[in-house]
Amino acid sequence: MELVEGVAHTEDVDGFIARLNAIETEHETTVQAFDARYVVDRAHLQTALSLADRAIERGENVARRRSVETLLYAAGRRQIDRALELGVDAGETPVVVLVDGGEESAAAAAIRELLEPQQTLGTYDEDRVRSYFDITKRELAATDVGIPELVRERVALLTVEK
């Protein structure tokens, strides 16, 4: 798995997604873009990808495409519409793009051309993440772990909730 970081300046979200889908097809890889303000760390996306692969192997996937199944797990939600909140918005968005399999390096290089280079992973928006994943102050006070661990727990629990 390779992660490409940067800022997307997107006026046409559908066009941007179409370019990512074309890269995915051309390089026979999985490509999924995330709004980096929701991604707590690399392990968040690695866990989502692993669980998506497991669901696909078992025939328990909700989405037809591996990239969308990965998005669902990263979001901790089974509803595609709700999970899309973790995707790219119009305007300027810090993004992290997951690239896995196939011609991974070539696909990552093509994606870098679409973004303004910038480190985005690890710069999540704490309030946004806490709100989206329903992490309360009370929950944080009751545990010795931080927000990244609680988000990864939400990702893992999606399997149990199906």
What is the per-residue pLDDT for 122? 86
Does residue 162 have a pLDDT over 70? no
DSSP string, 30-69: EEEEEEGGG---HHHHHHHHHHHHHHHHHT--SSSSHHHH
Name 63's Cβ contacts closer than 8 Å, sequence gap at least 6. Answer: 69, 71, 72, 80
Q: Provide the whole-model pTM.
A: 0.92
Q: Is 74 helix (H, G, I), strand (E, B) or coil?
A: helix
Q: Taking a C-beta distance cutoff of 8 angstroms, is the pair 47, 153 a contact?
A: no
- C-alpha span between 66 and 37 (Å, rounded): 22
* Fold type of domain 2-161: PF0523-like (3.30.2380)
pLDDT of residue 86: 93
Q: How far apart are CA 74 and CA 53, in angstroms?
A: 13
| Percent of the chain whose predicted confidence (pLDDT) is above 70 | 98
Check if the beta carbon of residue 115 is closer than 8 Å to that of residue 30: no
pLDDT average, residue stretch 50-58: 95
